A and B are shown apart, each in its own frame.
Chain A
Amino acid sequence: MKMNKVAVIGVGLTKFGELWDQSFSDLFVEAGANAIVDAGIDGKDIDAIYLGNMSGGRFIEQEHMASLISDQAGLNPAPATRIEAACASGGLAVRQGVIAVASGMHDVVVVGGVEKMTDITSERVTQTLITAADQEWEAFLGMTFPGVYALIARRHMHEFGTTREQLAAVSVKNHANAKDNPHAQFRFDVTVEQVLGSTMVADPLTLLDCSPITDGAACIVLASPEKAKEFTDSPVYITGAGQATSTIALHDRERITVSDATINAAKAAYKMAGKGPEDIDVAEVHDCFTIAELLAIEGLGFCEIGEGGPFTEEGSTARGGKISVNTSGGLKAKGHPVGATGVAQVVEVVLQLRGEAGKRQVDADVGLTHNVGGSGGTAAVHILEK
């Protein structure tokens, strides 16, 4: 599958965190305005809007989000469409925007991702997040979302000898990166000892293995290469886009320690871009739990299957390592407003490729984003180049 290149001409974020004074549409409007200013376009240039959002219905009892945000952003009557795939909603929204531009259907589209998670109690948030799993055969029987990833972690430790300390190393690295990201929710260091000693949530995962509850929005502006020239001399291009599906229930997967959706999505994206894992300099991957980052870097081919633990512990994924993974702080420390995450990942990689990542800047020509829904039922991978 070959694709026409698509340019990213603008990016914008809100702060990530507990944003009591901002509503769902406030978040979109802020991130959208930042992206539109960054792109140097006007509202009338926008042909369509794609919105990643996991669960407005449960988090704020609002559906029909696309109309709401287009209305509040003053973008009517442009077609606005919401995309849902649990925690991969943002990544899939990016993909729909890419398809819309690559097909020639639209010249300029805005892709947003928003989640407003702190308007309800944390118990309700937990109940909402587990809707990404099989309700009848996982959740109904008492499973939680951290529990699902704990099952993967335990088995990964058993099969490959991955250690508790190696899992903690993911959290330590991502917190260190978030310290240099002004948008991040957690801008402080944690140590391996702190990760191991924090409250046990679902053995062997502790609180500091888990991404937090976050409000936030991210936005990007996509354009055809011809159209992009009107607004910028140095766009970043999306050259590969892959998406794949696997079983919604973890127990139905052939190997629970391997994300086959990640492998298949990566394969498609690499092929489309004519790149391989060895070409990637910087990557934003889906670390909703520390174990998820190991499955990600293994599935994306940055290291062998089962080698994610030692690869992380030796510093290969740290800034300036063999491949810089989650320079933004990742879901773990930047924060994880679920529907926004896949779009925010693209924002970070674009900033890195433009050389605008400030103190966390790494040397990079080719970047990758990787977004996962649920325990791995959906995965989306994008490859970006200068």
Chain B
Amino acid sequence: MTMGAPRFWRKTQSRYNLYGVKCKSCNATYFPPRKICPSCRRASKLEDVKLTPKGEVLTYTVIRSAPEGFERQTPYIMAIVKLDEGPMVTTQIVDCEPDEVEIGMAVEGVFRKIRESGKDGPIYYGFKFRPARADKDLAV
């Protein structure tokens, strides 16, 4: 898809720094941020929270036929990662070959280039995940 600058910019706190929300009424954590907690509805008490970019691979696939802006990345791994703090995110898994990824693998967030938009368009950045390394500082 194409995304205009304002639409991207509006969510940069979440895209760059993995900001979600936590509901003070029920303790549920959501990512990306929501305006209403679906459990508490009118009793929602949401506040911003920076999530720890650690989790595990819940499921994955290898994209071989890529959408626009990702042609040069194929084959690439897409996964749903369950964050240690609860929410699940769709993300690319990098620094890992397609035959190395597995369900249950511990992963950590890194800040990377997400996509290009045409030859002259902006380059978008955000989080991806890679196999967890105990010895490195987290980039996100």
- Chain A: residues with CB nearer than 8 A to chain B? 123, 126-127, 130-131, 135-144, 146-147, 150-152, 154-155, 158, 199-205, 249-252, 256
The answer to whether B90 touches A138 (Cβ under 8 A) is yes
The answer to whether A202 touches B90 (Cβ under 8 A) is no
Chain B interface residue count, Cβ-Cβ cutoff 8 angstroms: 34
Instruction: Give the CA-CA distance A147 to B7 in the complex, in Å.
Output: 24
Per CB-CB distance, the 6 closest pairs between chain A and chain B, nearest first, are A150-B61, A155-B59, A251-B88, A203-B62, A202-B61, A151-B59
A154-B60, A251-B80 known; A144 vs B67 contact (CB < 8 Å): yes
Tell me which residues across on chain B come within 8 A of A151, comparing CB atoms: 59-61, 78-80
Convert B59-92 into 0s and 1s, putting 1 for each residue whose CB lies closer than 8 angstroms to a CB of A. 1111111111110010010111000000011111
Additional 20 contacts, C-beta under 8 A, given A142-B66, A251-B88: A135-B1, A136-B7, A136-B32, A137-B32, A140-B115, A140-B124, A142-B70, A142-B114, A142-B115, A146-B65, A147-B78, A154-B103, A155-B58, A155-B103, A199-B64, A200-B62, A202-B63, A202-B64, A203-B98, A251-B90
Q: How far is the CB of B115 from chain A (nearest CB, A)?
A: 7
Q: How far is the CB of B14 from chain A (nearest CB, A)?
A: 9
A151-B59, A256-B59 known; A143 vs B88 contact (CB < 8 Å): no
The answer to whether A200 touches B64 (Cβ under 8 A) is yes
The answer to whether B61 touches A203 (Cβ under 8 A) is yes
Interchain residue pairs with CB less than 8 A apart (9): A136-B7, A140-B1, A141-B78, A141-B91, A147-B63, A151-B60, A154-B59, A154-B103, A250-B80
Q: How far is the CB of A229 from chain B (nearest CB, A)?
A: 46
Instruction: Give the CA-CA distance A249 to B73 in the complex, in Å.
Output: 23
The answer to whether B67 touches A142 (Cβ under 8 A) is yes
User: Which residue on B lies nearest to A199, using beta carbons?
Assistant: B64
Q: How far is the CB of A350 from chain B (nearest CB, A)?
A: 36
